[in-house]
């Protein structure tokens, strides 16, 4: 009896299609954000938290820079939304519970003092 996995072109294609989710599949382009070229060049956006940034327009989303040309540091900024009830944590570079968000630290710079 043989329990090994067989590899066919179809199974590899299916694995690739289900394993890779690109930002442009479920986000819209951020109009007022420029992806930092040095981050794209240095990381090529390959690591788990690479090229992910706080969206200053709201705590329930973040910006993912989708590389266009990593040698030139160009990328398309895409607004990504956190699952309902979660907010962006810029230290962990992921959506997190409200009590762990770093979002308000960024917003406090623009709030007037009372």
User: Mind listing the pLDDT tens digit for each residue in 65-100?
Assistant: 999 999 999 999 999 999 999 999 999 999 999 999
- Reading the block at residue 22, the tokens are 């690109």
- Domains in the chain, ordered, with CATH? 23-107 (2.170.140)
As a whole number of angstroms, the longest Cα–Cα distance in the chain is 75
- Reading the block at residue 97, the tokens are 């519970």
CB atoms near residue 54 (< 10 Å): 21
> pLDDT band at residue 103, thresholds of 50, 70 and 90?
confident
């Amino acid at each position: 009896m043989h329990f090994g996995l067989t590899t066919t072109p179809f199974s590899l294609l299916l694995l690739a299609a289900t394993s890779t989710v690109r930002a442009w599949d479920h986000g819209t382009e951020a109009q007022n954000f420029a992806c930092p070229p040095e981050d794209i060049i240095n990381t090529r956006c390959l690591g788990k938290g690479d090229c992910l940034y706080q969206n200053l327009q709201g705590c329930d989303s973040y910006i993912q820079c989708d590389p266009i040309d990593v040698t030139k540091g160009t990328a398309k900024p895409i607004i990504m939304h956190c699952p309902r009830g979660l907010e962006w944590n810029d230290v962990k570079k992921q959506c997190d519970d409200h009590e762990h968000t770093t979002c308000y630290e960024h917003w406090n710079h623009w709030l007037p003092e009372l």
